[in-house]
Amino acid sequence: MDIKRRDFIGKAALAGFGVAGAGAVLSACRRKKADNKELGLPPILKGAPRGKKLRAGLVGAGARGTGAAINFISSGPDLEIIALADIFQDKIDACRERFASFNLPIPEENCFAGFDGYKKLMAIPEVDVVLLVTPPRFRPDHFLEAVLTNKHVFMEKPLAVDPVGIRSIITSAKKASAVGLNVVTGTQRRHQEDYIETYRQVASGAIGTITSAKAFWNQDHVWFREREPDWDDMTYMLRNWNNFCWLCGDHILDTHVHNIDVINWFMGKYPERAVGYGGRARRVTGDQYDFFSIDFDYGNGVSSHSMCRQIDSCANATGELIMGTEGYTNCQNTIWDLKGNIKWQFEYPKDENGTPMNQTVIPPYVQEHMHLVHAIRTGEYVNEAEQTALSTLTAIMGRTAAYTGRAVTWDDILKSDMFLGPSKLEFGKVDMVFEAPVPGTPVITTVKPAYKGQII
């Protein structure tokens, strides 16, 4: 009899998606300092271990993609980028040039432009690892193809833009774990030593039982592209993807998902329900909002207030705060008691002058790749896809609450058939019309936002 296997799919799993969480392990860990494995934390590494050479293919060769590829090769020895895929040839060329300038040429026959470039890249048997760094709308298809072609995966958050995509990611994640493919996601706070150590404190009871939280990602406006005369609808939207909901998922997914993920992580569960507001005050292009304010209800009176905004000259800051019965924390490096006295602080490494730095030496963007390579080379399995998919789903729940003005439950959103974007991905005219969603618009049974208006 295989106890482990039955635990995996036994009745316990039927209760729902569960995570350990700082709150959940509190009582068990008061006695001794729990180790990383017990708390579900990644190892903190100075570099990925040596091992068999790993060749990676990059899917999505834009700025973050090129950055991720560089992060990958700098995370340890014998790591290479050998293939590129992107919808646009100019993005491939720019990325290839960048790597050529490092004296790391990428063969031209391994570079694939177009909507199906990723399939050609993953058909290369030498590719061991794929880095999936396109706009999130494409992630579910890319991840499934990676699992079908037996590749280990790094993929950026968010993992999808709609519940259909989220369910696809979760199913593919389970397929990946069945065949032992490692998956690391770009929720870098989970790989940051300061966050990890703060989590350990909270898990050991440093702030007591969690009673409330807030999460905020309030920043200046983000990039956008005006339409150029020779761009067809699809080209324009892809070039300006960060401003269209079907490609980006709106900024509550794109950036705020980091904070939402931290709250879910510390809470050890996912919210039951969301009610919220949002709107579009100053955004120039696309169909997205530029501010959201969501109440995520975690049950038993515990809520997280989630804010995000992309407007200049406002009270802008990003971070988290979690309140407990015995103190509170910024989740990143400090724990206070209820009177505001510092109870604990993470000790950052000191620079050459002996003054403490304000961050860890190894950037979390590199740390996450070290974690992936470590898992592949040591066999210490990792798969973060499901947890990041569920945090992305949390953000989708909040977005839908704001777009519709309605309360959205976890069950509603998990089972929703919302599927954003055109049914066919090809260049040319897109038979969709866009306008920003207006709360209170009648919705019958699905929570699909109605697209009307012009592509602006």
Partner 1 sequence: MIFRKKIQRTSVSRNTKYWFFISGLVVFALLTFSYKKAIDITSTDKFCASCHVHPDADRSWKLSTHYNNKSGVVVHCVECHLPPRGQGFFLAKARTGLKDLYGYIFKDTADIDWEMKKLLEYAKKHVYESSCIECHENLYPVTLSVNGGNAHLLYETSKDPVHCLNCHLNVGHYDKHAALHAADSSFGITVTSTGPPFPEAAKVERFEDFTEMIPGTRVSFDMVALPGGKFRMGSGENEPLRNDDEGPVREVTLSPFWIGRTEVTWDEYLAFFRETSSQGRTEGQVVTTGKTDAISGATPPWGAPDQGWGKGARPAITMTWHAASVYCQWLSQVTGKKYRLPTEAEWEYACRGGTETPYFFEGNPKKFTSRGFLKKFIGPDTANIASSVVYMVNSPARTQEPSFVRPNPFGLLNMLGNVAEFCLDYYSADYYAADSVRVNPRGPARGKEHVIRGGSFRSDAKDVRSAARASTRTDAWLVTDPQMPKSIWWYSDCIDVGFRVVCEIDSLKSER
Which positions touch partner 1 (CB under 8 A)? 1-2, 5-6, 8-11, 13-17, 147-148, 163, 167-168, 170-171, 174-175, 177-179, 414-417, 443-446, 448
Strand ranges of the sheet holding 111-113, from the earlier edge strand across to the other edge: 111-113, 79-86, 54-59, 129-132, 152-155, 183-185
Strand ranges of the sheet holding 291-297, from the earlier edge strand across to the other edge: 342-345, 334-336, 328-329, 317-324, 210-219, 303-310, 291-297, 273-279, 408-409
Q: Least CB distance from residue 410 to partner 1, whole Å? A: 10
Nearest to 439 by CA among 311, 286, 279: 279
Angstrom distances, CA of residue 34 to CA of 24, 93, 266, 348, 389: 13, 48, 15, 21, 26
Instruction: Report the residue number, 13 or 314, with the smaller CB distance to partner 1.
Output: 13
Q: Least CB distance from residue 351 to partner 1, whole Å? A: 47
Q: Least CB distance from residue 298 to partner 1, whole Å? A: 17
CA pair distance 307, 294, nearest whole angstrom: 6
Q: Least CB distance from residue 141 to partner 1, whole Å? A: 11
Q: Least CB distance from residue 175 to partner 1, whole Å? A: 5
Question: Longest C-alpha distance within the chain, in Å?
Answer: 67
Instruction: Report the residue number, 229 or 440, with the smaller CB distance to partner 1.
Output: 440
CA pair distance 268, 274, nearest whole angstrom: 17
Q: Least CB distance from residue 179 to partner 1, whole Å? A: 6
**Pair 369, 184: CB distance under 8 Å:** yes
Instruction: Report the residue number, 15 or 315, with the smaller CB distance to partner 1.
Output: 15
Instruction: Report the residue number, 175 or 225, with the smaller CB distance to partner 1.
Output: 175
Residues 6+ away with beta carbon under 8 Å from 227: 236, 240, 285
**Pair 414, 271: CB distance under 8 Å:** no
Instruction: Report the residue number, 325 or 446, with the smaller CB distance to partner 1.
Output: 446
Instruction: Report the residue number, 402 or 413, with the smaller CB distance to partner 1.
Output: 413
Instruction: Report the residue number, 34 or 393, with the smaller CB distance to partner 1.
Output: 393
Instruction: Report the residue number, 120 or 174, with the smaller CB distance to partner 1.
Output: 174
Q: Least CB distance from residue 152 to partner 1, whole Å? A: 14
Angstrom distances, CA of residue 322 to CA of 203, 254, 336: 13, 22, 11
Q: Least CB distance from residue 213 to partner 1, whole Å? A: 24
What torsion, rounded to 10 degrees, do the Cα atoms 227, 134, 448, 218 define?
-80
